[in-house]
Amino acid sequence: MCAVSYEKQNQIATITIQQPPMNALSRAVLNDLNDCLDQIEADQDIKVVVIQGEGDHFSAGADIKEFMTISDKKAYQKLSEQALKVFDRIEYFSNPVIAAIRGAALGGGLELAMACHMRIVTKHATLGLPEINLGLIPGYGGTRRLPLLVGFPKASEMILTGETVNGETAEWLGLANQAVEEAHLHRETLALAEKIAQKSKPAIHSALQLLSSQKFRHEQDREVEAQAFAQMFESEDSKEGLNAFLEKRSPVFRDR
C-alpha cells in the first residue's frame, strides 16, 4: 500500500497522506508524495491540487521513530534535503496547491502546508513548529517560510517557544486563508479549488509563476538549513528530547 495516494475529480487532483493516525512524514511518504506530483504534472487536464491527511490529522510532522533509527549526521542532512526538495517543488509547482488542514499540522506537517500556495484550516486545528521542544530546529523550510507568512517577530516567537496556534488564530495571522467548521472543511476547500479551476489554465500558470517569483529562493539557504538541522542531532539535548517524546515525558535539557 502506498503511503500517499491521489484521485482526480474533474480538473482537481486530491493527494491524501495515508499514514494514520498522525500521518507522519517518513521517507516513504516523501517519496510517494513526489511520485504523485510526477503523475499530476503529466496530466494536462489537472488545474488545481489539494493535499490532505487521512483521518483526524493533516500531519503531526516528521517520523520521530524513523529519526531514532538514524545515527549518521549525513543521513539526517540527506533526509532534510529530500523534504526540502519536495516542498520546494510544491511551492513552485505549475498548478496551485491547497492544503486542507484538520487536527494537527505540526513540524514537518506545517512545513508541508506552508509550501502549498493556500491553506484552509478547521477552527480548532493545531498549527506550529514545536521542534525546539525536542532540542531540534525546523529542518524542512520552516525558518524560511513562516516569517514570510506571519512576519519575523511572530515567526521568531513560534519557533523559539515551540508554541502552537489554533485555526482561527492562524487565519488572523495570515498563516491560513480561511478557518472553517470541521464539517465544512472538504466543502470549502473544494469550493476554492473549483473557483480557480474555472479560470484559464495559461492564465493560472502565468499568474502563479509571477507570484512565485516574488519569493526569495536561494539554493544556498536550503543547504545551510539542512546542515543546521543535521547538526542538532549531534547534541545531547536532541537525544534527550527525542527519547522524552517517545517515552511521553518532559525532557530535561542540559544545554549541551
Give pLDDT tens digits along the chain (256 positions): 689 999 999 999 999 999 999 999 999 999 999 999 999 999 999 999 999 999 999 999 989 888 888 878 888 888 899 999 999 999 999 999 999 999 999 999 999 999 999 999 999 999 999 999 999 999 999 999 999 999 999 999 999 999 999 999 999 999 999 999 999 999 999 999 999 999 999 999 999 988 877 665 555 566 676 677 777 777 887 778 778 878 888 888 776 7
Domains recognised in the chain with CATH numbers? 4-183 (3.90.226.10)
- What's the predicted TM-score (pTM) here? 0.88
181 part of the active site: no
Query: Phi, psi (5° rounding) for residue 187?
Result: -60, -45
How many Å is the Cα radius of gyration of the chain?
18
Q: How many CA atoms lie within 13 A of 9 on its CB side?
A: 7
pLDDT, residue 139, reads 92
234 part of the active site: no
pLDDT, residue 69, reads 87
pLDDT, residue 213, reads 72
Please identify which of the residues 81, 111, 171, 225 carries the catalytic annotation: 111
DSSP one-letter string for the chain: --SEEEEEETTEEEEEE--TTTT-B-HHHHHHHHHHHHHHHH-TT--EEEEEESTT-SB--B-HHHHTT---HHHHHHHHHHHHHHHHHHHT-SS-EEEEE-SEEETHHHHHHHHSSEEEEETT-EEE-GGGGGT----SSHHHHHHHHH-HHHHHHHHHH---EEHHHHHHHTS-SEEE-GGGHHHHHHHHHHHHHTS-HHHHHHHHHHHHHTS---HHHHHHHHHHHHHHTTSHHHHHHHHHHHTTS-------
Please identify which of the residues 131, 171, 188, 225 carries the catalytic annotation: 131
